[in-house]
Structure 1
Amino acid sequence: MEKAYRIKKNSDFQFIYKKGKSVANRQFVVYTKANKELEHFRLGISVSKKLGNAVVRNKIKRAIRENFKVHKEDIIPMEIIVIARQPAKDMNTLQIQASLEHVLKIAKVFNKRI
């Protein structure tokens, strides 16, 4: 994912945690914050070390990024943080994608019906 689409700074994460809205299901927590200045969404991903070793955490992050690449055109310009929960480590990529789409629909980040 290109640099313009990423949230990396801790201060940005903290700001979105404090000011944004959160939605969750069993596998993911999603924080969203509207940003009128952006032309596209920005994504931050958080996967705790409690979920597993680096291989497991990177697998989850790759699946999340892939889901956002697939829906790149359908997402409203806003700042989004995805936090993976414990059950996500036992899921394959398609299950992660389905669960993430479910929580993103609840968070209303899509511009049209998916």
Structure 2
Amino acid sequence: MKQFAFPKYERLLKRSEFVQFTNARQRIHTAHFILLWTHTEDSTLKIGITVSRKVGNSVIRNRVKRLVREFYRLNKSRFVMAHYNIIAKKGAEQLDFQRLSRELANVLERLHK
């Protein structure tokens, strides 16, 4: 079960960690998400999730973040060692877990090409 954990050292938490994505040219857009990533010298896997107020109120934003975290937790092995920021666009609140998983899985496939 520990292989499916989402420990604190795998999360982007500080503002300085998110600022590194401001000029990131490596990005993939989908209908509901933007995936930004940057390779780092420490070769660790970290993920940050950004959901703006345009998506909805706090309850809805937290639900979207929970779903994205769950996708990451279950598909961690499909991510390449890098730092990722998954940004939810307006409309992401309407996705159920299956549709969200399908969309993010397609993003990961495009990432590995």
Which residue of structure 2 aligns with residue 93 of structure 1? 97
Question: Larger % of helix: which?
Answer: 1
How far the C-alpha of 1:95 sits from its partner, in A, is: 0.9
Structure 2: runs of 5+ lacking an equivalent = 1-5
Asked if 1:83 corresponds to 2:87, the answer is yes
Structure 2 residue aligned with 1:13, among 5, 10, 18?
Answer: 18
Which residue of structure 2 aligns with residue 62 of structure 1? 66
**What amino acid is aligned across from residue 17 of structure 1 in structure 2?**
T
TM-score normalized with structure 1 length: 0.86
**What amino acid is aligned across from residue 37 of structure 1 in structure 2?**
D
**What amino acid is aligned across from residue 27 of structure 1 in structure 2?**
H
Structure 2 residue aligned with 1:102, among 99, 106, 110?
Answer: 106
How far the C-alpha of 1:78 sits from its partner, in A, is: 0.4
Moved more, 69-78 or 46-55: 69-78
Percent of pairs with identical residues: 25
Which residue of structure 1 aligns with residue 33 of structure 2? 28
How far the C-alpha of 1:104 sits from its partner, in A, is: 2.3
Name the SS of the counterpart of 2:86 in structure 1. Answer: strand
How far the C-alpha of 1:20 sits from its partner, in A, is: 4.8
**Distance of aligned partners of 1:19 and 1:90 in 2 relative to their CA distance in 1, 3 Å threshold:** closer
**What amino acid is aligned across from residue 104 of structure 1 in structure 2?**
L
Superposed CA RMSD: 1.6
Moved over 2 A (4+): none
Preserved CA contact (<8 Å) 2:79 2:108: no
Structure 1: runs of 5+ lacking an equivalent = 110-114
TM-score normalized with structure 2 length: 0.86
Whole-angstrom distance in 2 between the partners of 1:20 and 1:12: 16
Q: How many residues align?
A: 108
Asked if 1:41 corresponds to 2:14, the answer is no
**What amino acid is aligned across from residue 98 of structure 1 in structure 2?**
R
